Structure 1
Amino acid sequence: MTCTGPEVDLWSIPLIALNVTVRKKLGLYLNPKNTVAADWRTVAELMGFSYLEITNYEHAKNPTDEILKNWQTKKSEASVGKLLAILTEAERTDAVEDLRGLIDEDVRKYIEYMNKKDEPPVQVPEVDSCVPRTPERIGLTLADDPDGAPELFDAFICYCKSDFKFVHDMIRELEHTEYKLKLCVFDRDVLPGSCVWTITSELIEKRCKRMVVVVSDEYLDSDACDFQTKFALSLCPGARSKRLIPVVYKPMSKPFPSILRFLTVCDYTRPCTQSWFWVRLARALSLP
């Protein structure tokens, strides 16, 4: 290692540590069909994907990104160290050498974030409270009580700006009806001035029971939605806790994100099931 130091065990660093830039550049190496060097198909095979799965990924716009997304959600051994080992086994040391600096930087940032998250809470003597008073938990949302417990929500809403009208419909149908659910809508509930990624991680992991993902063509192009979805998936691999609920409210021209294909979708686009949509969604969000 160069940035992170020789003591870092890359095999213990989950693949989610690698950000969009590394994934896009890796795609530039592996996506083109190459008769001389190994491409994404060889890498996918070494990752353990079947022939049928690999054949299906051939229709993807960015197959390298697709296999990385699916690998990190389906395979427990998916890590930065394992990825580098696979690229080396596939004799793509050109990609490893070119991306190593970026990978080191992503790993360094990931370790810093995890170390910061694991720091013990700082006690404030003048306030007799059992609630940790760390910067991440003070004044995060509109209703946060600096001297009390942090504000909690039934669900974090993952959306892009173009889908905000539907988010308003969701607020009306789930908060202001008999369901009385409490949604975390970033533009409405989060106070400005703090790091977006830190706030988002805190809300998804510690403040919200579940996350509703509003899937649309615009969602697929959003780096913020991509981060939120991957972070939430890393907390519940295999959908054991039913933590993520994908929602589709309008027809899509782009393929549905493969990273969410193994989850049951709440679909508003079918007229025959629209009358059940809000009931199903509300019931799913009301589960313990």
Structure 2
Amino acid sequence: MACCGSEVDLDSVPLIALNMNVRKKLGLYLNPRTAVASDWMAMAEAMGFTYLEIKNYEPSKNPTGTVLEEWQARCSDATVGKLVSILVEVERNDIVEDLRPLIDEDVWKYCQRQKKKAEPPVQVDEVDSCVPRTPERVGITLDDDLEGTPELFDAFICYCQSDFEFVIEMIRELEQTKFKLKLCVFDRDVLPGSCVWTITSELIEKRCKRMVVVISDEYLKSDACDFQTKFALSLSPGAQKKRLIPVKYKSMKKPFPSILRFLTLCDYTRPCIQEWFWSRLAKALSLP
């Protein structure tokens, strides 16, 4: 494979070059226990893990991913080339053949990043307070690539916990159907441990094209929803970018929030328009 004008020795490329997409696909191949092909245990044994270590990794939801992380952390020779060799050693040439284009692409991107780092800067870096510079804004979602482009979404979903069942329905209708949208659902996609307000503002401003606000009586009591709504509105004064889309899915006892009354509502409570509800919402979220 050519990279930076020369052939790349995969044994010189550290395992960190492989992004989450390739690691997930490895898990899809190796996590299932089967009698007809080597699984993650065979790979772990070839990597030098002991029987007790392998048994301790077994309860993991994604043992393949766990083994790769541990191997990367403990072994200086944990390289892409070594991983490919191990897969061949345990007779999983099928995985190597299927994933080789993705592996080559990740290696090429890694080489480009390394080349760029080695080049002297043309000028002093631009001073911009909006650029994330703190560790808490790196690796904040489940599928973030720490060495590459942050995970991006079509919409951030603003909701309170009592409305989560409707959020689940929204996921089914917008992500798992023909619309194929990508939603940022805090409880599902955000990794624990960081400041809620910091990562929420980062997601709304830089990672999500739009924000869907699930309106209910409970929403009106939520400090988190109030912050998220006002922050999103501040990014698009007068709704010029159609950044914020309010959704009402059940009747309310309290008045509709005045701060959102100037925005066109997507109302699921009206039976006469429910037939078009999801397609209208999906179309709005798909706008550039």
Give the TM-score of the pair, scaled to structure 2.
0.55
Partner of 1:229: 229
Q: CA RMSD in A?
A: 1.7
Partner of 1:183: 183
Gaps of 5+ in 1: 1-125
The CA deviation at 1:284 is: 0.1
The CA deviation at 1:136 is: 4.0
Partner of 1:262: 262
How many residue pairs are counted as aligned between the two chains?
163
Gaps of 5+ in 2: 1-112, 118-130
1:249 aligns with 2:249: yes
CA distance in 2, matches of 1:145, 1:133: 16
Distance 1:137 1:274, change over 3 A: same
Partner of 2:275: 275
CA distance in 2, matches of 1:221, 1:281: 25
Instruction: Give yes or no for contact 2:137–2:199 (8 Å, CA) kept in 1.
Output: no
Summarize deviations over 1:36-84 as a string: whole Å, max 9, x none: xxxxxxxxxxxxxxxxxxxxxxxxxxxxxxxxxxxxxxxxxxxxxxxxx
CA distance in 2, matches of 1:129, 1:135: 21
Q: Which structure has the greater CA radius of gyration?
A: 2
Instruction: Give yes or no for contact 2:184–2:208 (8 Å, CA) kept in 1.
Output: yes
CA distance in 2, matches of 1:136, 1:227: 19
CA distance in 2, matches of 1:286, 1:175: 12
1:198 aligns with 2:201: no
CA distance in 1, matches of 2:152, 2:246: 21
CA distance in 2, matches of 1:207, 1:190: 12
CA distance in 2, matches of 1:285, 1:274: 17
**SS where residue 264 of structure 1 aligns?**
coil
**SS where residue 197 of structure 1 aligns?**
helix
Distance 1:278 1:129, change over 3 A: farther
Give the TM-score of the pair, scaled to structure 1.
0.55
**SS where residue 176 of structure 1 aligns?**
coil
The CA deviation at 1:137 is: 3.4
Partner of 1:94: none
1:151 aligns with 2:151: yes
1:220 aligns with 2:220: yes
CA distance in 2, matches of 1:208, 1:165: 22
Q: Percent same amino acid among aligned pairs?
A: 81
